[in-house]
Structure 1
Amino acid sequence: MEKKIGIITFHRAHNFGAMLQAFALQQFLSINNEAEILDYRSKCIENYYYSPLRLKSMIKSVILGRDSISKLSLKIRRKKTFEKFQQKYLVCSQPYSSNNISEASKNYDLFITGSDQVWNASMVQDDLNYFLKFVNPENRFSYAASFGNNSILTYPAKEEMTELISTIKIPLIRENDGVEILKKLNATNYARAKVVCDPVFLLTKCEWEEKLGLKKKSSDYIFAFFVNDPIHSLDIAKSLHEKTGLSVKYCHSYGTEKNIPDWCEKLMDIGPRKFMETLNSAKYVVTTSFHGMALSIRLGKQFYYELNKNGTNSRLNTLAEIFDLHDREITDSNIPTCSEIDYQKVNEVLEKYSSYSKAVLLSSLEGIDYE
């Protein structure tokens, strides 16, 4: 029987991974159900991405010397490309805020929180709507929810967060570390928790190409994509550039233009679709991003990844462990010594991983604990 499903996630973040995973989960759920993304205007997202671009804030930022006119212009262009993607590709509900989101509970049969770091306490802070507080307990579900780090273990509201998570019959989480965090929280359902794939793996390479209308272009370049400032990754991109003669296209998830070398082509105001097209056509990918790594695997790219210096690496380590790709890790300024990725082997693992995750998700929505 078709269900109407409401998804709460970070769909308004001007972040490629956040928006693309939201798109992928909605697309998969819409095969046999009606799925909408709740157009939830959370303070954590609005304050980070939207408040700085209000006219008063921009004028103040220029006066205080925090931003230049050109930098603000870039931020505005990026905002428009993400909003355009959201309007064209995401099916969203009416806007909700923390003041009226309880009204959504009567419009859907069930709700899913995830994917992304919806249980990262340092990020969502006291917004318990990402823990589905506004939903009747029997209608609470999760998919590939991530804690991001251990901040929930010491957060003042951890008891209430734990109680809400415990009402989810079968918590579906994204990282191996998440199970340990549930155990440390004494969540009553931690033994039933299952690790599932990020939503970007729920769509095949062909489905990504078809649904977004990606044009296949020549692969005569290296795509350097960073979500954190790289330590050694840029050196690796340069070494590949010098070794292969391929050009380098540079993109930062947050539009940061700091210290970009002249030998890179800047792609700083592209949206999610153009990002996918660029990644899909690249010969090599060098990244510090979880979704940069995940989508490289999904699209069959030869890639190298660097862990983040801030220590939030459980997401990348989980992928490396599942696909046995630890040899792609960048640890210094030398290109990792490894053979090309055997995608016949990787795709066999990916097929099992995604098929299992799909089965677990669909079973959980029926209240069945898939084994």
Structure 2
Amino acid sequence: MSSSIGILTYHRAANYGAVLQAYALQTAFSKLGRRTEILDYYCPAVEEDHRPFGRLGKKKNVFQTLTHSPVKIKKDKVFGAFRERKLKLSEPMKKGIAPGTADRYDLFVTGSDQVWNDRLSGMDPAYMLDFAREEQRYSYACSFGFDTFPEGKEALYTERLKGLRCVSLREKSGVKMLEEAGISARVDLDPTLLLTAKEWSPFSVKPKDTEPYILLYTVNGAVHLLDFARELSEKTGCRILYLNNQYKTNRDLTRIRYAAPEEFTGWFENAAYVLTNSFHGTVFSILFHKQFKIELETVKSFNVRSRDLLTSCGLEDCILRNGPEDFTFRQDFEEPDRLLSQMRERSFSYLQSICDSAEKMGKTKDR
């Protein structure tokens, strides 16, 4: 008997948010009584980006490439072990989506994560479910990672996305962008937010060291966040633990390296303060009711995803403003919890509708 729903997402990336949202979406479907498999698809662009001698190896600095490679190899082992422990995967698909895949599942869900970000996926049509029949195509909380189409690509995006039965996005900015292109869409929670703090807590591994700490977690290069972390440490007496695999800069900070995803959530749950510029860092700060600040500006981009999430939860006061107000932290999460609960209920209702469609299609197939 086949699993009724096939999920296509970034589960193979050595990235905490990527594997945790994949785990959470499978868990959410399981709560609704529906079996799923993640298609173990090897996206060429994702594989190139995450292999030890991938895009980094194209840089002129050969020494930097060689010194980073052991780090990437270790990370790959950590995330590979997590996939084996926690994710239900199909057979490997290393040379494209396997022939006949559309006949082995009742329907498909693409998402969550930035599966529609052309810089990450290489505009891979598999993430628009081009291999499936139109009645099988659904998305859940997909993200573009931008709020305006890349130059010259709007027509290609709209052509491919019009084939989906229902378009579900993670950010309101994406809905506005698609509606202006003539495609209706809805907003749903990132899968990690479908699970409550009580559900994440038994998943998490608690740090052995109980001394209070400021968890600093950065992606894409922080602007002012590290300086703020040092100031906060001076004011509070809490040490800084820096969850980051870089090794050349900020050597005064104590590093957390090669943490498994269960340890990652544990570091968030048990922190006295959290400072981050990461979307999923924002997610777990909210879920665990942390005293936290989010830096939206990074060296490479602006974090649209965290901005939209904070706004939808009424948590704009948790944005780093580079002023004296930054040292005041939110203590009351009653209203954000209420808003999040409403959004969670709405998103589970949508997932239930997908399950209902899968059941109907399964019965039709069995006739």
Change (3 A) 1:152 1:130: farther
Q: Which residue of 2 aligns with 1:165?
A: 161
Alignment deviations for residues 233-277 of structure 1 (CA, whole Å, 9 cap, x no partner): 11121112111111111012xx22342241x21012222111111
CA contact (8 A) 2:53 2:69 kept: no
> How far apart in 1 are the matches of 2:324 and 2:306?
20
> How far apart in 2 are the matches of 1:300 and 1:365?
31
> How far apart in 2 are the matches of 1:366 and 1:154?
38
Equivalent AA in structure 2 for residue 272 of structure 1? P
Alignment deviations for residues 20-64 of structure 1 (CA, whole Å, 9 cap, x no partner): 01110011112211111111100111001025179xx98x98993
Q: Which residue of 2 aligns with 1:181?
A: 177
Change (3 A) 1:85 1:334: farther
Equivalent AA in structure 2 for residue 222 of structure 1? I
1:229 to 2:221 alignment: yes
CA contact (8 A) 1:53 1:76 kept: no
What's the CA shift for 1:304? 0.4
Identity %: 33
Q: Which residue of 2 aligns with 1:86?
A: 83
Q: Which residue of 2 aligns with 1:316?
A: 306
> How far apart in 2 are the matches of 1:130 and 1:268?
31
Q: Which residue of 2 aligns with 1:25?
A: 25
Change (3 A) 1:232 1:292: same
The aligned runs of 1:240-251 (5 Å cut-off) are 240-251=232-243
Q: Which residue of 1 aligns with 2:141?
A: 144
Change (3 A) 1:261 1:330: farther
Alignment deviations for residues 276-321 of structure 1 (CA, whole Å, 9 cap, x no partner): 1111111110000011001111122111000133444221111111
What's the CA shift for 1:334? 4.9
Match of 2:64 among 66, 74, 89: 66
> How far apart in 1 are the matches of 2:62 and 2:204?
43
User: Under a length normalisation based on structure 2, what TM-score does the superposition of the two structures give?
Assistant: 0.89
Equivalent AA in structure 2 for residue 345 of structure 1? E
Q: Which is worse superposed, 212-221 or 129-138?
A: 212-221
Alignment deviations for residues 74-119 of structure 1 (CA, whole Å, 9 cap, x no partner): 2221111111111101111111135343432111111000000111
1:295 to 2:299 alignment: no
Aligned length: 354
Alpha-carbon RMSD: 2.5
1:10 to 2:10 alignment: yes
Q: Which runs of 5+ in 2 are unaligned?
A: 359-367
Q: Which residue of 2 aligns with 1:346?
A: 336
Q: Which residue of 1 aligns with 2:39?
A: 38
> How far apart in 1 are the matches of 2:121 and 2:343?
29
> How far apart in 1 are the matches of 2:260 and 2:54?
17
Q: Which runs of 5+ in 1 are unaligned?
A: none
Alignment deviations for residues 212-245 of structure 1 (CA, whole Å, 9 cap, x no partner): 2533763611100001211111112111211111
User: Under a length normalisation based on structure 1, what TM-score does the superposition of the two structures give?
Assistant: 0.88
Q: Which residue of 2 aligns with 1:286?
A: 275
1:274 to 2:234 alignment: no
> How far apart in 1 are the matches of 2:166 and 2:84?
32
Match of 2:206 among 199, 215, 223: 215
Q: Which residue of 2 aligns with 1:257?
A: 247
